[in-house]
């Protein structure tokens, strides 16, 4: 096609941005994760204080009350029994999982949108997050 006086029409710029719905979904996952973690942590702290009214912060830190709930079976058993420590553990896990879910969502939308470079960068970030959690995490005491 040409312009009014025989000049070529300007090329149409390709829009490589993610669709607005992608941004809304990513923000929704972050907000939902943060609110869920906050509810679990505040509720768990309130329940812990109600169950253990005389405990000091030093006693809590020295005893590490969530240690027995760091396995899947321990967490499910603790949640089934209504243990405040199990809900605290779940709140921490949700808080840690929230940015990981955001990175996975970013990878999905970048890959779907054909943005190979950004998908690759996001995949590297995801692998580094998992490496830090699963390899370095157990060494931190």
Is the pLDDT assigned to residue 19 strictly greater than 80? no
CB count in 10 Å sphere of residue 94: 20
- pLDDT for 78: 94
**pLDDT tens for each residue of 76-122:** 999 999 999 999 999 999 999 999 999 999 899 889 888 899 999 99
Domain boundaries, the chain: 25-136
DSSP lists the bridge partners of residue 8 as 2
Share above pLDDT 70 across residues of the chain, in percent, rounded to a whole number: 88
Share above pLDDT 90 across residues of the chain, in percent, rounded to a whole number: 47
Q: What pTM was estimated for this model as a whole? A: 0.74
- Rounded CA-CA distance 117/6 in Å is 38
- pLDDT for 20: 80
């Amino acid at each position: 096609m040409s312009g009014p006086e025989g000049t070529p029409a300007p090329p149409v710029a390709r829009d490589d941005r993610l669709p607005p719905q992608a941004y809304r979904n990513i923000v929704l996952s972050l907000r939902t994760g943060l609110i869920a973690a906050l509810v679990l942590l505040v509720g768990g702290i309130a329940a812990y204080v109600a169950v253990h009214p005389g405990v000091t912060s030093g006693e809590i830190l020295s005893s590490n009350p969530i240690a027995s709930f760091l396995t899947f079976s321990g967490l499910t058993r603790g949640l089934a029994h209504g243990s405040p420590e199990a809900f605290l553990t779940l709140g921490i896990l949700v808080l840690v999982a929230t940015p990981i879910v955001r990175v996975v969502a970013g990878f999905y939308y970048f890959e779907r949108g054909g943005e190979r470079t950004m998908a690759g960068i996001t995949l590297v970030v995801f692998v580094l997050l998992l490496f830090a959690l699963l390899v370095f995490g157990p060494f931190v005491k």
